[in-house]
Structure 1
Amino acid sequence: MRPILLQGHERSLTQIKFNPEGDLLFSCSKDHVINVWFTHNGERLGTYDGHNGTVWSIDVDSQSRFLVSGSADNTLRLWSVQTGKCLYKWEFPTAVKRVAFSDDDEQIVCVTEQRMGYQGAIRVFNINRDGDGSNQSKEPASFFNPIGSKAVVCAFAQSPNLLITGHESGKIAIFDAKTGEEVQNNERAHMDVVTDLQLSPDRSYFITSSKDKTARIHDTRTLMVIKTYSTETPLNSAAIAPLKPYVLLGGGQDAMSVTTTSLRQGKFETRFWHKIFEEEVGRVKGHFGPINTIAVSPRGDCYASGGEDGFVRVHHFDESYFRAKPYGDLEIED
């Protein structure tokens, strides 16, 4: 698996995202820039310029028409994927740490930071898809402050009007997006901050990674932990591979303590784990520092990782990956 190295950022990556067709890859980083790339050859298609702070999070809708981004410049922005134009800007008192589109593209959710006397908040905005998309409502459809530990990651659940959130304490919860009421929670889902949350293609289960050195798969309805993958390094990101029973985990010691360890000990590989058997099946090296974000193409033909080193590496899976029999001789029908 020879990687395609994407060099378009000057600082560490914060999130990467494939569009639903898997032909485009979006990346954002601490250098204020959002890039979009062609997946098959790593050519840069364009940039989305406008933020003047770290871009913490991005998401793209199911038609690859709109891109949404949240940044440390206290704004949430809506972009046209095709033209790179900023269509609308929402401003808040604190930084936007996580953004996500709903399943039907009608809403976006954003999590803002707890800072300077302001509580951490979750806001849901309705998206007006008529015309060019620049006519949006300034006011959120709903707004609430989760009580207790602050929310750091979130996404829409499979049922409408429900949000899944991951918190600093390691808690995972489900909130009603309209009322802000906590419907369900699992206080002990992780022992440390939840660093990433990615849903399965049908949103019936999701994977979380944490600084407590584990990644876990949870049921979306009950929040029950179904599988646990324990590693010896803090994890920053976890992704589910479609069509194959694998999960991909990435992390490494934080950047501050990296200088004291060698590359080998820093554990900067992408780890492949068997989703069902909870066994590690392989590792891919490459980054010169912790892996901050991992995404797998919805087509299941490649994955990308973004690191503290400022590089995005796109790996197209070899033929042997598709020929492997992860269940032994058992054939699984899709």
Structure 2
Amino acid sequence: MWKNPSKYFAKTSVKYFERHKGEVNCCALSPDYQLLLTCSDDSRIHVWDAKSGLLKHKVKGHKGPVKSCCFSPDGSLFASSSHDSTVRIWRVETADCLHVLTGHSKCVETVSFSPDGTRLLSAGWDHMIILWEVQTGQRFKTYTGHQDATLCSAFSTDGSLFASGSWDKTIIVWNPRTGAIIFHLKGHEDWIRTLTFSRDGILLASTGLDKMIRLWDCENGKCIKVVKSMLEMTHVCIFSPEGTLMLAGAMGLQQL
């Protein structure tokens, strides 16, 4: 049925981007919404024109499946992480590799830029979370606390906190400057899949393979709401700008 999926979207406004030769693990829109970034098990990263669907760059460099990708806040750089244990920082305009970051010993599952774009967070199977200096590619700080692999990460809007979610079914909220653990959040019954801070930094949303969405108060670390997801697996969770709605996955709109 899905040998040529694009024909099923011919009469809709949906664009179908078809070039990867493996499972697509992550995608990201540039801050100005002009570019789309995708990464895949085929060890490639693709940079697309989001409006036309044309492929601008086919980026090679990783030696294994690429697990995560993201744009810097100003849109001039993007980062990627891979099963090859490396993190790479690339220039958007030319797709040249600026830095290859080699501090992890196993697969790196997640990368996140700080809100000011000066630092990059990475984490994965080796139980380590590393914060890097973007300009130099040097390690700024290493954080340990999870008992299993880290799958996802997110910074608060002001950069004063970041959160990490793990196979150990817990979330840790950190002080990035000191490395102190602010909260160790427990409640999910399966792996943590996604993390998202509200724009004001007061709430943290988490989703897990237990099909639950949890809302946490970042001032006291308490879970203030649990919502059962309508989706089999929630891959993305986004707050509306005013913080009263949350978009879960590709189709589910949840009222807070």
TM bracket, shorter-chain basis: 0.7 to 0.9
- Choose the corresponding residue for 1:28, options 39, 47, 61: 39
- Choose the corresponding residue for 1:7, options 6, 18, 30: 18
Could you tell me which residue of structure 2 aligns to residue 319 of structure 1?
A: none
Q: Equivalent residue of 2:235, what SS? A: strand
**Per-residue displacement from partner, 1:124-153 (whole Å, max 9, x unpaired)?**
11222xxxxxxx243x11012214344321
Q: Distance in 2 between matches of 1:126 and 1:175?
A: 18
Q: CA RMSD in A?
A: 2.2
Go from structure 1 to structure 2 and tell me whether the alpha carbon gap of 1:183 and 1:243 turns closer, same or farther (over 3 Å shift): closer
Kindly name which structure, 1 or 2, has the bigger radius of gyration based on alpha carbons. 1
**Percent of aligned pairs with the same residue?**
22
Q: Give the number of aligned pairs.
A: 243
Q: Equivalent residue of 1:32, what SS? A: coil
Q: 157-166 or 238-247, which moves further after superposition?
A: 238-247
Give the conservation status (yes or no) of the 8 Å contact 2:120–2:132.
yes
Q: Distance in 1 between matches of 2:168 and 2:153?
A: 14
- Choose the corresponding residue for 1:97, options 109, 112, 126: 109
Could you tell me which residue of structure 2 aligns to residue 230 of structure 1?
A: 228
5+ long unaligned stretches in structure 1: 115-119, 129-135, 251-269, 277-334
Q: Distance in 2 between matches of 1:237 and 1:218?
A: 18
- Choose the corresponding residue for 1:121, options 112, 124, 128: 128
Answering whether residue 224 of structure 2 is matched by residue 217 of structure 1, we say no
Answering whether residue 126 of structure 2 is matched by residue 143 of structure 1, we say no
Give the conservation status (yes or no) of the 8 Å contact 1:172–1:223.
no
Answering whether residue 146 of structure 2 is matched by residue 109 of structure 1, we say no
Greater RCO, CA 8 A, separation 6+: 1
Could you tell me which residue of structure 2 aligns to residue 249 of structure 1?
A: 248
Deviation of 1:222 (Å): 3.3
Answering whether residue 252 of structure 2 is matched by residue 272 of structure 1, we say yes
Go from structure 1 to structure 2 and tell me whether the alpha carbon gap of 1:225 and 1:273 turns closer, same or farther (over 3 Å shift): farther
Q: Distance in 2 between matches of 1:161 and 1:232?
A: 32
For 2:118, the aligned partner's letter is E
Could you tell me which residue of structure 1 aligns to residue 170 of structure 2?
A: 171
Q: Equivalent residue of 2:116, what SS? A: coil
For 1:209, the aligned partner's letter is T
Deviation of 1:194 (Å): 0.6
Go from structure 1 to structure 2 and tell me whether the alpha carbon gap of 1:43 and 1:241 turns closer, same or farther (over 3 Å shift): farther
Answering whether residue 184 of structure 2 is matched by residue 153 of structure 1, we say no
Go from structure 1 to structure 2 and tell me whether the alpha carbon gap of 1:235 and 1:53 turns closer, same or farther (over 3 Å shift): same
5+ long unaligned stretches in structure 2: 1-11
Deviation of 1:247 (Å): 3.2
Give the conservation status (yes or no) of the 8 Å contact 1:214–1:234.
no
Q: Distance in 2 between matches of 1:222 and 1:19?
A: 33
Could you tell me which residue of structure 2 aligns to residue 200 of structure 1?
A: 198
Deviation of 1:202 (Å): 4.4
Go from structure 1 to structure 2 and tell me whether the alpha carbon gap of 1:236 and 1:14 turns closer, same or farther (over 3 Å shift): farther
**Per-residue displacement from partner, 1:283-319 (whole Å, max 9, x unpaired)?**
xxxxxxxxxxxxxxxxxxxxxxxxxxxxxxxxxxxxx
Q: 81-90 or 47-56, which moves further after superposition?
A: 47-56
Q: Distance in 2 between matches of 1:34 and 1:24?
A: 13
Q: Distance in 2 between matches of 1:30 and 1:113?
A: 17
- TM-score, normalised on structure 2? 0.85
